[in-house]
Structure 1
């Protein structure tokens, strides 16, 4: 926990200047609070004597010098007003600058977290529940924000107030002030035990909150399935289980959190009662001096209690920090070598040579060797689980082979930076991914500096220009989140146009038509017929009819390329590809007759 808190403090370094200004404001609050305590006794005597006496029987008021009585009558209240005004300004500045400090710290945390999320491999994120990731980005970051806003400021402000008020109390009476202040460290032992309970409950509460967010995300995404199978009761029971665990953890932490100020109140009351009894029996002090001392001691317990309260915020931030750093400490499985250089453009071929790869214990590729030649369309076909999408992940450097190697024009790709290799690919996936915004903004995502003419030319190549111009505002039409206002075929053609606009060396189509209805598929096929000729492309498909014109086809099965050749060559062989072709093109009656 301590190491985590130190790591969180690293985010405060760039904003130390704002923290210094906030500390100056806190110093004003601390000094004026001490001044209030010091002036309490003189104020009582001033009130009782009608302005005749100030402090300890003297015929003047401290800080007012030897002013006449009439001047003192308005001068002393003026001092109180000035002290109050300075304290108010200090409070205002303290909260403003601490708020600014907290927001800047949290902005840096969110930025680093978002950068990490977008830099990890898809397989790494697939192992995490999406709702839990969102919980870390929201609830856990909020805990850090609360700590930055209140804990750092409280440690500075309240520690300073404790020192100032303790100084006032000791200046009035070292003996009595010391006896009353000695109770403060005695409260540390029970407070520390309770704080550990707060930490344990907070950790468990944050974990269960992540489970709740994860189930909510799954439930909203799979609502049709849940309702179709009447699974609401089962989902509710699972949700209730996590909710109960979260409740128990939070309530337990709240009990321990509430006990800390209770302990402080009891000890403070005991110290005050003992001091009053001691002062009354010994008559060591004048009444107004005793009042100032008691005021200082009473006021000193408030910042001490605040320190105990905000320590729990620090514990919450520590528990949240552990979850955040568990994510931030993940590293991409494909890290650049120290001497890696940018990759040159593909000139001849990309090759996988005896490549093996597994997801945990599940093998995905088992000694695959295949070649992707420049200027040719290469297709990977076969049933699910054959390893087709894994080849794409390896080529795009989302994953690293566990054995074997990949080469670019004969050079091992580990010699090059992953970013420069990815830059040579334009990817179109099975699920069209569009962003909230206009058609033009979505197409320019591939190349932000593209002119409108270049965007329109790419759309024409992808057979998308016609329907785009038919939209209400043409290329400036906003298409909603994930392109919800468009049909599946329209969304996919926009993705193809975006890939064309990228001017990448290799176009990768990963099941680009498998989720489309027949009409949308025909639209996309027409677009691909315009896009693919003369390009270097890798096409992954279940439907063989979409790749019959490919220059070379590889049939993937159980992680191996079991057959390779053109459509005609593979049909002539009469092997696995020919069997798949008959299965997809012949009707059930024909297959039965055969």
Structure 2
């Protein structure tokens, strides 16, 4: 756990100034506590003697001993008020600046997490449960926030208090002070064993919480399927199992945490009892000095117990940090070489040479050789699992060939930075992704500096300008999260317009019409018919009717190209493409006849 906590502390470096201000507040609190302990004996003598004479004999506040009686009567109470005010101001400063410190640390951590999540490859994210990711982003980050807010501040404040109060106790009587304070390290061994148990159970609890969040996300996303198969009872059983495991871990950790202050309380009481019995019999010091000693020892156990209590936040932060760093330490499959340079604008074309790639044990590309010539529409067709979408992942540098090369204008893509390679492509996927905001905001996502005239021109090319202007506020209409207020065809045409606006050299359409109903598909096909001619484009499709006008079609099976040619040429050959065409067209005719 210690390496994880030390790594978390790195997020504090940019905010050391705020931490120093919190330290000043903590020092004021600690000094006030020490003053309280030091003045307890003289205060009692003050009350019993009725004023200045008591202090003259106690010799605990020398400057008061020289004051007239009337001045002493109000001087000592005033001193107590000043000490109390200093403590109050110190607490205020400490909590304010520790809160500010915690929020700034968490803000930096959340930014880094968000950047990491948005920079991982789709295949990496596919291995992670969405609910578990949300749990890391919320509950795990909250655990770090609690530690930054309470643990760091408490360690500073309570450590200073313990040091100052220990000094007060030893100044009263080195012998008795040492005996009474000796109990503190005796509690360290059993407390550390209990804290290890807390860490283990806390880690288990965080994992189970991620499982709960993951199942909740899956359940909400698959609600129709769950209800259609009457799977509520099975899902409830799974959820209950995770909930019970989480409860068991949390309760076990709570028991261990609760045992630490209890242990400290027993040891503190034993030390005080022994010291009182010894001091009473030996008469080692004046009563007011003994009272100050006892007060300082009683008070020193409070910050020590508090340190034990807040350690639970550090333990939780350690467990959460392990999960957060497991995510932050993931490396994108395509990392830029140290000497990578920006890629120039594509002019001749793209080629994959003898590319092999596997997802674990599953071979996706098996010696694929493919060329996308500039100015041509190239289509990839074939059944599911043939490797078509993996080609897109290679082009966009989501994945790197495990063997073979990706060439841009004849130059290995590894020579260029991944971001500059992605700038060569504009992508339209099967699932039209729009963001909450206006139509104009969504179109400008591709090119934020585009003028309104450029946006409207791109929308016209994509056959989207008409329905956009029919919206209540036209281009300034808010369309809701993921564009829920629009039809599937409208959303896809907006995505096409966004890709056109990007002005990237290559347009990639990855199953852009496969999830649409026939009417929406016709709308999108009309948009594509206006967009594709004369452009460098890669079109991936299951439906062959969408790519009949492509300049060249490649039929992919088992990760390699088995046929290439135009639509007419492939039909004339009577090979695999012709079989697919006959199956799809006859299937459509049979369905229509039925």
Q: TM-score range by the shorter chain?
A: over 0.9
Aligned mates of 1:588, 1:552 — CA distance in 2: 24
- Name the SS of the counterpart of 2:53 in structure 1: coil
Cα displacement (A) at 1:47: 1.1
CA contact (8 A) 2:379 2:550 kept: yes
CA displacement at 1:65 relative to structure 2: 4.9
| Residues 95, 63 of structure 1: alpha-carbon distance in 2 compared, 3 angstrom cutoff | farther
**Does structure 1 retain, via aligned residues, the 8 Å contact 2:56–2:65?**
no
Shift of 1:209: 0.7
Q: What do residues 181-236 of structure 1 show as CA deviations (whole Å, max 9, x unaligned)?
A: 11111110110110110011011111111111111110111111101111000000
Q: Distance in 2 between matches of 1:567 and 1:518?
A: 22
Whether 1:296 and 2:296 are equivalent positions in the alignment is yes
Partner of 2:93: 93
Q: Who is 1:227 aligned against?
A: 227
What is residue 396 of structure 2 aligned with on the other side? 396
Distance across 1 between alignment mates of 2:172 and 2:264? 23
CA distance in structure 1 between the aligned counterparts of 2:409 and 2:169, rounded to whole angstroms = 81
SS at match of 1:57: helix
Deviation at 1:448, TM superposition (A): 0.6
Superposition map of 1:130-149 within 5 A:
130-149=130-149
SS at match of 1:53: helix
Residues 159 and 8 of structure 1: CA distance in aligned 2, closer, same or farther (over 3 Å): same
1:57 to partner: Cα distance: 2.4
8 Å CA contact 1:350, 1:371 repeated in 2: yes
Aligned to 1:103: 103
Distance 2:358 2:344 in 1: 29
- Aligned counterpart, 1:368: 368
Q: Give me the TM-score of the superposition, normalised by structure 2.
A: 0.98
User: How far apart in 2 are the matches of 1:567 and 1:149?
Assistant: 66
1:448 aligns with 2:448: yes
- CA deviations 1:544-572 (Å, max 9, x no partner) are 11110000000111111111000000010
1:573 is matched with 573
Q: Quick one: distance in 2 between partners of 1:506 and 1:162? A: 67
1: CA distance, partners of 2:454 / 2:393: 29
Q: Which residue of 2 aligns with 1:32?
A: 32
Contact 1:54 1:61 in 2 (8 A): no
Asked whether the equivalents of residues 30 and 160 of structure 2 are also in contact (C-alpha less than 8 Å), the reply is yes
How far off its partner does 1:589 sit?
Answer: 8.0
Give deviations 1:410-451, integer Å, cap 9, x for gaps. Answer: 111111111110001000000000111111111111011111
Q: Which has the larger displacement, 55-64 or 548-557?
A: 55-64
Structure 2: how far apart are the matches of 1:181 and 1:118?
Answer: 53
Give 1:506-517 correspondences, 5 Å limit: 506-517=506-517
Distance change (3 Å), C-alpha of 1:566 and 1:268: same
Q: How far does residue 54 in structure 1 lie from its aligned partner after superposition? A: 3.9
Pairwise mapping of residues 161-176 of structure 1 onto structure 2 (< 5 A)? 161-176=161-176
Question: Cα 1:124–1:254, aligned 2, differ >3 Å: closer, same or farther?
Answer: same
Give distance in 2, aligned partners of 1:566 and 1:300. 86
Q: Give 1:419's aligned residue.
A: 419
2:248 corresponds to which residue? 248
1:114 alignment counterpart:
114
User: Secondary structure of 2:57's match?
Assistant: coil
- Please tell me whether the aligned partners of residues 439 and 477 of structure 1 are also in contact (alpha carbons under 8 angstroms): yes
8 Å contact kept, 2:59–2:65: no
Which shifted more, 178-187 or 42-51? 42-51
Residue 259 of structure 2 corresponds to residue 259 of structure 1: yes
Counterpart in 2 of 1:217? 217
C-alpha displacement of 1:121? 0.5
SS at match of 1:369: strand
Distance 1:153 1:367, change over 3 A: same
SS of match in other structure, 1:378: strand
Distance 1:588 1:352, change over 3 A: closer
Structure 1 equivalent of residue 317 of structure 2: 317
Kindly state the Cα deviation for residue 140 of structure 1 after the two structures are TM-superposed: 0.8
Displacement of 1:110 in angstroms is 0.8
Q: Aligned partners of 2:129 and 2:415: how far apart in 1?
A: 34
Q: Matched residues in 2 for 1:177 and 1:339: separation? A: 65
Counterpart residue number, 2:386: 386
SS in 1 for 2:404: strand
Aligned counterparts of 1:429 and 1:48: Cα–Cα separation in 2: 86
SS of the counterpart of 2:212? helix
Query: How many positions carry a matched residue from both structures?
Result: 592
Per the alignment, in what secondary structure is the counterpart of residue 372 of structure 1? strand
Does the aligned pair in 2 maintain the 1:53–1:59 contact within 8 Å?
no
| Aligned counterpart, 1:499 | 499
| Distance of 2:214 and 2:87 partners within structure 1 | 46
Shift of 1:64: 2.9
Aligned CA distance change for structure 1 residues 67 and 152 (closer, same or farther; 3 Å) = same
Whether the aligned pair in 1 keeps the contact of 2:435 and 2:481 (CA below 8 Å) is yes
Query: For the structure 1 residues 59 and 467, does the alpha-carbon distance in structure 2 shift closer, same or farther, using more than 3 Å as the test?
Result: same
Tell me, in whole angstroms, the C-alpha distance in 1 between the residues paired with 2:10 and 2:590: 71
Is residue 331 of structure 1 aligned with residue 331 of structure 2? Answer: yes
Q: Give the whole-Å Cα distance in 1 for the aligned partners of 2:298 and 2:393.
A: 66
CA contact (8 A) 1:53 1:61 kept: no
Q: What SS does structure 2 have at the residue aligned with 1:453?
A: helix
Distance 2:54 2:232 in 1: 75
* CA–CA separation in structure 2 for the residues paired with 1:53 and 1:21: 41
SS in 1 for 2:430: coil
Q: Deviations over 1:107-134 (max 9, x none)?
A: 1111111111111101001001111111
CA deviations over 1:322-363 (Å, ceiling 9, x no partner): 111111111011111111111111111101111111100001
> 1:46 corresponds to which residue?
46
8 Å Cα contact 1:45-1:54 kept in structure 2: yes
Distance 1:527 1:262 in 2: 73
Q: Provide the C-alpha distance between the structure 2 equivalents of 1:589 and 1:198, rounded to a whole number of angstroms.
A: 67
Distance 1:440 1:588, change over 3 A: closer
Aligned-residue Cα RMSD (Å) equals 1.4
1:466 counterpart residue number: 466
User: Which structure 2 residues correspond to residues 40-79 of structure 1 after superposition, within 5 A?
Assistant: 40-55=40-55, 57-58=57-58, 61-79=61-79
Structure 1: which 4+ aligned runs deviate by more than 2 Å? Answer: 52-65, 587-591
Matched, 1:475 2:513: no
CA shift digits 1:432-475 (9 cap, x unpaired): 00111111111111011111111111111111111111111111
1:588 deviation in Å?
7.8
Distance 1:398 1:485 in 2: 31
Shift of 1:52: 3.8
